[in-house]
A and B are shown apart, each in its own frame.
Chain A
Amino acid sequence: MKRILAFLLCIALCCGWLCGCSSAITMKRYTFSCFGSESVLVLYDNFFGGGNAKYQTTVETVAEMLNNIDKAVSVSNADSDISKFNALAQNQSIEISNITYEILTIAKNAYEQTNGAYDPTVLLCCDLWGLTSRFFSGSYTPQTAYDRNLSDYDTAYPNEEYLNAFKGLIDFSAVELSADGKRATKLKEGVQVGNTTYYQQMDLGGVAKGYAVDKVMEYLKSQGYIYGYFSCGTSSVGLLSNYNVNTEDENFSVSIVNPRATENSSAYYAAYSGKNISLSTSGDYERYHEINGFYYSHIIDSSSGVPINKPIENSQNGLCSITIFGQSAGLIDCLTTAFISDIEKAQNFFEQKGGYQYVMVESSRLNVYTNIEDLELLDDNFSLQD
């Protein structure tokens, strides 16, 4: 009798265990295509029963949020607010959505905090250097008066007349927002080159990803999600807590892409351990041209109109990678763009403001500057500096 009871106990234990498994936390990963890149939502939750319906609603809501942001500010969508703004002449204005207003407000804040180092009105200069997305789509054909053959962008600088003209259009203070947040006006005077008058254009692509991370994280928290993360094109990431059945450590290990990765080196140069924080990374290694062995990346110096890492005295200038950690992904997205040109300027800013963590890699010597004590270096070619 006792043995029968023991056998039944064994069966009951197994059934209980299996039932336990069916209600356990599991992981789901979903990818979205937006802002010309892939976004990933990873969530840990109980996805059985009502949890699955909640997850489906979450995925649909996040997709709609991303779609709305993309529609508002994408420069590749002719109907977006920003495309309409870019088509305006001086003193003309357009009606803008609440999303566009919020993103422009974050951008204005960053512009002021960085004394103009972050300036999204560099779009024409970026295009002149062949660094906008149309040059990397695989279907580029010259369209404008200043366009060149694709191979020419890897051998020579752009026409100086255009460069000087487009540099003069960089001025975010000349983008005026109405007090009620419903309209944006272009105040900047146009410049003429040849028979064409060019007007100021801007691209909010960088800050839009951070804004999307902020909105998605806010939504996930409102839905009661505790574990997971949202990565918008890998350049902007929002972390909740990590769920790990093996340990009680709720930190994620965030690997940072090696900006100078080769076949023989690690794909990542450093790893950061953390949770409930947002981060943003900019680098010179994704969209760039290589002229005479030096990188000319898509981030434009707002004071000169040239790529921030243009070589100085035969040495690559600035940072090849900068990652900033903070609570507002939208703002830190702007800060990575603003400070990729200058280590000292970045360190002074972080010292004055406080509340940010950062990792920066100097282009010329791969020296790593950080205020994160437990940052793990994964590649011997990089060295930590005090």
Chain B
Amino acid sequence: MSLSKIGQLKKSKAFTKWDLIVYTAVVLIVVLLFGIFVFGKNSAALNGIEIVYDNQTIFTYTFEEDNYEINREYIEKVSVENDQDKLTVTVYSDADKSHYNIVVIEKSGSAYMQNADCSYHKDCVGMSPIVDNRGIIVCLPHKLTVLPLNYSPNPTTG
């Protein structure tokens, strides 16, 4: 390398304006994504409802997108009435559709068990509505669980 070239390199700046813009953009993207994925998690607000039958997710609904999905394998067991302000989801727990649970999802952000033919006391119908990411409704005789999509798994006892 000639002496003039070395002198030229010594005089030049380590970073040009465009270098700094690119590096700053990279740092900003990394910080932004970190913030979204780390601090955006575990919000107590309810973001959707999941219905689980025998440890398989059979139905999901997201409030923000007002969109529901039924697991293809269980399409015969789940029927949905989609009204303006609520979804009424009927889940049949046997093949001849003689036993059922009716879950109502209020689009304003809650869900509850409206009816079931599971037992004398119908414990699941009396359970508190799900209004945040901690709530859960269990129908033991029908192996059905209704829980938030972003369920916070802190235990309950009682």
Contact = CB atoms under 8 A, between A and B. Distances in A.
Interface in A176-194: none
- Chain B, interface size category, equals 35 or more
B30 A13 contact: yes
Contacts of B151: 29
Contact of B55 (A31, A42, A229): A31
Contact of B155 (A2, A13, A237, A245): A237
Contact of A253 (B26, B118, B127, B154): B154
B153 A10 contact: no
Contacts of B23: 6
A280 B158 CA distance: 8
Interface stretch (B2-10, B64-72, B85-93, B132-140): B132-140
A246 B33 contact: no
Contacts of B120: 135-138, 140, 150
Interface string B118-158: 11110100011000001100101101010000010111111
Contacts of A254: 154-157
Interface stretch (B37-45, B73-81, B103-111): B37-45
A117 B122 CA distance: 32
B32 interface: no
Interface string A233-264: 01101010010111000001111110101000
Contacts of B153: 27, 29, 42, 229
Nearest to B151: A29
Given A7-B22, A13-B26, A31-B145, A255 B154 contact: yes
Contact of B158 (A2, A3, A242, A256): A256
A10 B29 contact: yes
A104 interface: no
Contacts of B19: 2-3, 6
A138 B117 CA distance: 9
A135 B120 CA distance: 8
A9 B24 CA distance: 13
A256 B157 contact: yes
A235 B22 contact: no
A42 B156 CA distance: 12
Contacts of A294: none
Interface in B6-29: 16, 18-19, 22-23, 26, 29
B38 A245 contact: yes
Contacts, number: 105
Interface string B32-54: 01000111011000000000100
A138 B140 contact: no
Given A2-B19, A6-B23, A150-B120, A235 B42 contact: no
B26 A279 contact: no
A150 to B, nearest CB: 7
B22 A244 contact: no
Interface string A19-39: 001000001011101001110
Contacts of B127: 267
A121 interface: no
B118 A138 contact: yes
Contacts of B22: 3, 6-7
A337 interface: no
A231 B55 contact: no
Contacts of A13: 26, 30
B33 A17 contact: yes
B148 to A, nearest CB: 12
A279 B38 contact: no
Contacts of B26: 6, 9-10, 13
B119 A138 contact: yes
A169 B118 CA distance: 34
Nearest to A6: B22
Given A3-B18, A33-B140, A244 B42 contact: yes
A31 B123 CA distance: 18
A283 interface: yes
List the 9 closest pairs (A to B, CB-CB), nearest first.
A257-B158, A267-B128, A138-B119, A281-B157, A6-B22, A138-B120, A42-B153, A255-B156, A10-B26
Given A252-B155, A257-B157, 7 more contacts: A3-B18, A7-B22, A136-B119, A136-B121, A138-B119, A138-B120, A255-B157
7 contacts: A33-B143, A42-B153, A137-B119, A137-B120, A234-B155, A256-B158, A259-B158
Interface of B: 16, 18-19, 22-23, 26, 29-30, 33, 37-39, 41-42, 52, 55, 118-121, 123, 127-128, 134-135, 138, 140-141, 143, 145, 151, 153-158
